[in-house]
Every structure is written in structure tokens, then in C-alpha cells.
Structure 1
């Protein structure tokens, strides 16, 4: 039962993270001159506007069952570079808006977590205003929300097509090199599978784990320290 509860919390956190992430892409594109995503209802916190049946639901489930790293994706946000005010620069800004929005969600979750702990620890208050069981459930969800959003943010910042971090390459590529970059994006799924599954199983080298050791986990500890500091 605890395992199922944990999976449900993680699934809800992933959906929230993906919805905010994709909406941030769409909003950034709109602010920078391209209204395509907005016209298609993608600046929305409604999950139905973003969920891809395979990438958001089936793929993560299969990865959980396989016991490996888990990632998910939503329907691509349509962005027409020609509509942007400064296409090469703004493509990077639109891409970075997604991961930055996830970091913001994690920060807000940490603040709420700290406030919740303060309320629960006030003598006599939690029993009357907030049941301990409910408080524990919310606290677990907030910690999961922090972890999931930080993982989404830094995973997407990896400079590998089609992840958001690869957009930084656009600033340094032109001509044939830029066309090759966009061509590589067509083979993104095999590349991710090789990096996430085949490489660790064959070489024993977990590049994603090492990367998270220097990004996700230190920032997660910092956010928890911030939350505890509010008590």
C-alpha cells in the first residue's frame, strides 16, 4: 500500500511538473513574439492540453516496471522560430523557460513545506486544525514535488537533443552544422535510451546519476534546509 501511495504521489508530481514546464515554454514563446502555442491552448494548467498518452503515461509506467531511470515527455509545444523577435537567442530563452519553471515549483514547494512543518509543530494546533496523518501525506507530496521538479529541470538541461539544454548549441552553430543538429533531433529517443539504459548496463557508468549528484541532490538539500529554517 505504501508503494502504491508513493507511485501515485510521484505520478501526480510528474504531471504537475510537466504541465508547468510545457506552459512555461508556451508563455515564453508568446512573450517573445510567437503566439502559435497560445492559439492552440498550450498556456494552460489543464493537463489535458499537454499530456501525450505514450510519453506521459505509458512510457514512464514501462520504465518503472523495468526498474531503470524514469522520464516522461508531453506533446511538443509548437514554436515557429520565424515569429520570434530574435530567433537564435529567443529559441534558447524559450527552451530554458521550462527547466527554470520546474526549479521555481520546487522552491515554492519548499516554502509551503516549511510553513506546513511550522503549523504541525505548534503545540495543540495540528490536532485541531490539521490531522497528523493528512499533514504527513501533504508533507510527503511536497518533498516528492521538490525532487521530481528538480530532476525534470536538470534532466532537461542536459545538452542532448531534443532536451532543452541542447538549445544552447544553437548559439554556436550555423549552416551545415546547424542543419545536422536539427537532423540529430529525429533520433532523440534512441540516444536517450542508450545513455539511460544501455551505457550503464554495459559499462557500469551511470552518467545521469553522477550528474544528479552535482545538481539535483545538492539543490534538494538546500531547499530542505530553507524549509527547516522556516520552523
Structure 2
């Protein structure tokens, strides 16, 4: 049995769950901060991955490098300005991913300062930080594409006329 491959798979799954969970939670937190209680009422302001993960979407991300989570429900009628509220809410997910990527690379740099040859756990932690950074950058940038249902389409919508 290839234990290293199994450990890599488990670390990838953990990174995917973390990326998607934080992304979706930040959508809900942004909407809540702007006055929409929908996500809070549905218990989606949680870092529990079970509240956010679409099983098929997570499997596709693992297998095909492309997947999705359950979208956090948002009701723009609660926002003072629905267009800008939706744009801010949509931006919260990708921005959280880019921030997590930065933090993962920062942690990687700290871990490498303590690196000694043969430190297996440290090597695994460095690898996890690298995987986390790559997945977060990919997810954040991909979601900024202005094509529905991606977040970028809602951001672009704030700059387009109502018609």
C-alpha cells in the first residue's frame, strides 16, 4: 500500500474542505454584515464543512480539479443597495481565498525556517501549506470570472446598468 499517496490524498481533501468552507462562510458573513440574516437563520455562518460541502462538487474538485460547494443563500432585498450588496457579498469568497493563500504561504515560510532534513511531519505541513495556497489562488481567481453563476458575474453586475 502506498501510504505517502494516501496521506497526500487526505491532505488534499482537508485543503479542499477548508478552502470551500471558508469561501462560503465569508459569503454568508458579508451578507449578514450588510443586513441579510438568511445565512445565519439557515446556520450557514459556520466553519463546519458539512454545512457547505456538496458531496459531488467536492469529489469533482478532487478528481477533476474543478468542483463546487453549496452556495450560501442570499436575499438582496435586505441590502440598502442590492446591486452593491451583492457585489460585496460575492467578492467576500474570492478575497477570503486569496487571503488564505497568503497566510498559507506565510506559514510555509515560517515552517521552512525550522526545517531539518528528515522532519517528516514538518515536510507534510509544508506540503499542506503549498496545496492550500495553490487551491485557494485557483478557487479565488476562478470565481472572479464574470460568467454566471460565478462570483465575478455578480461583481460585474454592480457596474452594469439595470437594463
- TM (norm. structure 1) is 0.65
Instruction: After the TM superposition, list the runs of 4 or more consecutive aligned residues in structure 1 that deviate by more than 6 angstroms.
Output: none
Residue 115 of structure 1, CA deviation = 1.1
Give 1:88's aligned residue: 83
1:192 alignment counterpart: none
Alignment gaps of 5+ in structure 2:
none
* Structure 1 segment 110-125 matched on structure 2, within 5 A: 110-120=105-115
Cα distance, 1:51 vs structure 2: 1.1
* Structure 1 residues 138-195: Cα deviation after superposition (integer angstroms, max 9, x where no partner): 11101111001000000111111101011123120423xxxxxxxxxxxxxxxxxxxx
Shift of 1:106: 0.8
Query: What's the counterpart of residue 174 of structure 1?
Result: 162
Q: In 2, Cα distance between the equivalents of 1:99 and 1:87?
A: 19
CA RMSD of aligned residues (A): 1.7
User: Which of 90, 100, 104 in structure 2 is aligned with 1:105?
Assistant: 100
| Equivalent-residue separation in structure 2 for 1:34 and 1:28 (angstroms) | 9
CA distance in 2, matches of 1:8, 1:71: 17
**Counterpart-to-counterpart distance in 1, 2:21 and 2:110:** 25
Other structure's SS at 1:161 match: coil
Does the 8 A contact of 1:91 with 1:167 survive in 2?
yes
Larger radius of gyration, structure 1 or 2? 1
Give yes or no for contact 1:99–1:153 (8 Å, CA) kept in 2: yes
2:10 alignment counterpart = 8
What's 2:61 paired with? 60
In structure 1, distance between residues paired with 2:35 and 2:96: 19
1:77 match: secondary structure: coil
Task: Kindly indicate whether the alpha-carbon contact (under 8 Å) linking 1:10 and 1:148 is maintained by their aligned counterparts in 2.
Answer: no
The count of aligned residue pairs is 160
**Partner residue of 1:44?**
46
Closer/same/farther in 2, CA of residues 48 and 114 from structure 1, 3 Å limit: same
Confirm or deny: 8 A CA contact 1:25 1:98 kept in the other structure.
Answer: yes
Alignment of 1:162 onto 2:149: yes
Which runs of 5 or more residues in structure 1 are unaligned?
176-231
The one of 105, 126, 131 equivalent to 1:144 is 131
